[in-house]
C-alpha cells in the first residue's frame, strides 16, 4: 500500500485549485437547479469492481509484453487492487477468476481485509485446459458433445460458487468459449440445448441470494459462431434459468455501432440486466480502457442506468474488464474507474423532467440538447472532491507516480515471461 503522507503531500499541492474549481462548478450547477453536494454524495457511494486479472499486463493474439513488477499470484493482485482503491476510492471490490486465483478462503479473506477490499462476482473458467484436467475444453465445455466434459464444466462452476460463498461473493459469471470455427461444425440447436441443460445444473446449485450472470460475446475464441453470441440468446438463457439468472453486458462484445444503451434499456425493462463489464472498443472486442474511445456511448449507457435507479430492485453489478497492453495496469484501472464515475456523474446532471417534456412534445432537437448538456459538463471537481474527502488522491495517477509503488514491487517480484492468461 502507499504511505498516507505521500497522498497527503500530493493533495496539499492540489487542494487550493480543487476548492476553487469545485466552488465555481457548484455555482454553475446551482444556476441549473442542481445541488453539487447531492451529486458528490452519490458519486462517492458509487463503486466499480476491479477484475483480479486486470492488474497483470494483457496481450493480443500477437504477443504480450509484461511490465515490471507483474503480480505473481492472487495476493500480489490484491495488493495492486488495494492501491487502486486507496487512491481512487472508487473500486471497493475485486472479482476473482477461478482457477487462476484459487487459494484457501481464509487466506483470501485475511488478505482482502488487510488491503481494504471485498470480493465481487466469481468468474469461472471453462475456456482453457488446466494441467490436472481430465477432459479438454478444446471443443467446448458446457455445450460439449461429451457428457463427461459437460459435467466437469458444471462441477467447476459449482466449485466457484462454493469458494465464493466462503469469501462473501454473491454472484457467478459463467463465460464459455464454446462455439464453432466452421460452418457445419456444430448443430446450433443441439449445441444450445446442451448448454442450457448444463447451465441449469449450475443454476440449481446457486444459493437463493446469488445471481447467475451470463455474458454474450459475438466472436472469439470461436470465430464462426459462439453459443452465447448476442443479447437475444443471453436473454433466452436468463429466461430459461429463472429469476436469479440475469444478463451481463460487456461493452466490447458487440458489433461496431450496435446501440448498446438500447440493449441496456431493454434488459432493464424486463428485469434481466445483471451487470456490466466496462471497457471500450474501436473495432471489436478490443478491451481498451473504459471511456478512451467513445465516452459519449458510456454516458448514454449511464443515462439509462440513472433513469432506472429509482427502482429499489435495480442493482446491476459493475466491473471493469479490459486488457492493458502498453500502460501500467494500475494507472489504466484508476483512470478507467474514474471514467465510469464521470459518466455516472454526468448522467445525474441531466434534467429528466425537461427531457421527458421534450420527448412528449416530439421536440427532438431540445431533447437531444438536454441530454448532451449533462455530457458537456466538466464534472472532474466533483470526482476529485469525492476522492479527497474519502481519503483518496485528488490526482490518483500523480500520487501513484510520486509513490514509487511500481519500482518497489518490481524489486520484490521477479520478472516474468510473456506467456500468461488472456482476457475475456
Ligand atoms: Mn467480459
CATH number at residue 105: 3.20.20.150
Distance 285 CA to ligand 1 centre (A): 9
- Cα separations (Å) of 124 from 97, 151, 364? 6, 14, 45
Q: Does residue 175 lie within any of the structural domains? A: yes
Taking a 5 Å cut-off on Cβ, the residues next to ion ligand 1 are: 250, 277, 321
Three-class DSSP category at 275: strand
pLDDT at 414: 86
pTM: 0.96
Q: Give tens-digit pLDDT for 293-330.
A: 999 999 999 999 999 999 989 999 999 999 999 999 99
pLDDT at 422: 52
Look at the chain and report how many structural domains it folds into. 1
Distance 22 CA to ligand 1 centre (A): 35
Distance 172 CA to ligand 1 centre (A): 13
Grid cell 455555482 is found at 27
pLDDT at 423: 53
Q: Does residue 147 lie within any of the structural domains? A: yes
Q: Does residue 384 lie within any of the structural domains? A: no
Q: Does residue 33 lie within any of the structural domains? A: no
- Cα separations (Å) of 128 from 133, 140, 153, 220? 10, 9, 11, 13
pLDDT at 416: 75
pLDDT at 383: 98
Distance 252 CA to ligand 1 centre (A): 8
Q: Does residue 191 lie within any of the structural domains? A: yes
Task: Output the CA angle 170-175-179, nearest 5 degrees.
Answer: 160
pLDDT at 105: 98
Distance 399 CA to ligand 1 centre (A): 29
Q: How far apart are CA 56 and CA 325, in angstroms?
A: 9
Distance 383 CA to ligand 1 centre (A): 26
Distance 248 CA to ligand 1 centre (A): 8
The DSSP bridge pattern shows strands 211-215 and 225-226 to be: unpaired
pLDDT at 421: 52
Distance 274 CA to ligand 1 centre (A): 13
Q: Which residue stretches of the chain have pLDDT < 50?
A: 424
Q: Does residue 99 lie within any of the structural domains? A: yes
Exposure of 201 in the CB half-sphere (CA atoms within 13 A):
18
Distance 31 CA to ligand 1 centre (A): 40
Q: Does residue 424 lie within any of the structural domains? A: no
Q: Domain span at residue 315?
A: 47-350
Q: Does residue 198 lie within any of the structural domains? A: yes
Q: Give tens-digit pLDDT for 185-203.
A: 999 999 999 999 999 999 9
Amino acid at each position: 500500500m502507499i504511505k498516507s503522507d505521500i497522498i497527503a503531500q500530493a493533495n496539499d499541492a492540489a487542494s487550493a485549485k480543487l476548492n476553487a474549481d469545485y466552488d465555481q462548478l457548484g455555482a454553475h450547477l446551482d444556476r441549473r437547479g442542481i445541488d453539487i453536494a447531492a451529486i458528490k454524495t452519490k458519486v462517492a457511494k458509487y463503486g466499480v469492481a476491479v477484475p483480479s486479472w486486470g492488474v497483470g499486463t494483457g496481450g493480443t493474439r500477437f504477443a504480450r509484453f509484461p511490465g515490471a513488477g507483474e503480480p505473481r499470484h492472487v495476493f500480489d493482485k490484491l495488493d495492486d487492487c488495494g492501491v487502486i482503491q486507496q487512491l481512487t476510492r472508487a473500486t471497493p471490490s475485486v472479482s476473482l477468476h477461478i482457477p487462476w486465483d484459487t487459494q484457501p478462503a481464509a487466506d483470501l479473506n485475511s488478505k482482502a481485509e488487510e488491503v481494504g477490499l471485498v470480493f465481487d462476482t466469481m468468474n469461472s473458467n471453462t475456456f482453457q485446459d488446466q494441467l490436472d484436467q481430465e477432459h479438454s475444453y478444446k471443443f467446448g465445455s458446457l455445450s460439449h458433445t461429451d457428457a463427461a466434459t459437460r459435467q466437469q464444466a458444471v462441477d467447476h462452476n459449482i466449485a466457484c460458487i462454493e469458494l465464493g460463498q466462503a469469501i462473501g461473493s454473491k454472484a457467478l459469471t459463467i463465460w464459455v468459449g464454446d462455439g464453432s470455427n466452421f460452418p457445419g461444425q456444430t448443430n446450433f440447436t443441439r449445441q444450445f440445448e446442451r448448454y442450457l441443460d448444463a447451465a441449469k445444473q449450475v443454476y440449481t446449485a446457486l444459493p437463493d441470494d446469488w445471481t447467475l450472470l451470463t455474458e454474450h460475446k459475438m466472436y472469439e475464441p470461436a470465430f464462426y459462431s459462439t453459443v452465447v453470441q448476442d443479447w437475444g440468446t443471453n436473454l433466452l438463457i436468463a429466461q430459461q434459468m429463472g429469476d436469479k439468472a440475469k444478463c451481463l453486458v460487456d461493452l466490447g462484445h458487440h458489433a461496431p455501432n450496435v446501440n448498446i444503451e438500447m440493449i441496456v434499456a431493454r434488459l432493464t425493462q424486463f428485469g434481466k440486466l445483471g451487470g456490466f463489464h466496462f471497457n471500450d472498443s474501436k473495432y471489436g472486442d478490443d478491451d481498451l480502457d473504459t471511456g478512451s474511445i467513445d465516452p459519449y456511448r458510456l454516458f448514454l449507457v449511464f443515462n439509462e442506468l440513472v433513469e432506472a435507479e429509482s427502482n429499489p430492485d435495480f442493482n446491476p453489478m459493475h466491473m471493469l474488464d479490459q486488457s492493458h497492453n502498453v500502460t501500467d495496469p494500475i494507472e489504466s484501472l484508476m483512470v478507467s474507474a474514474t471514467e465510469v464515475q464521470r459518466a455516472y456523474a454526468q448522467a445525474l446532471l441531466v434534467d429528466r423532467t425537461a427531457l421527458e417534456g421534450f420527448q412528449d412534445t416530439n421536440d427532438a432537437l431540445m431533447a437531444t440538447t438536454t441530454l448532451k448538456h449533462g455530457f458537456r459538463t466538466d464534472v472532474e471537481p466533483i470526482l476529485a472532491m469525492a476522492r479527497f474527502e474519502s481519503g483518496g488522491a485528488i490526482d490518483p495517477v500523480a500520487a501513484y507516480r510520486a509513490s514509487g509503488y511500481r519500482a518497489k514491487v518490481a524489486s520484490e517480484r521477479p520478472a516474468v515471461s510473456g506467456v500468461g492468461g488472456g482476457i475475456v
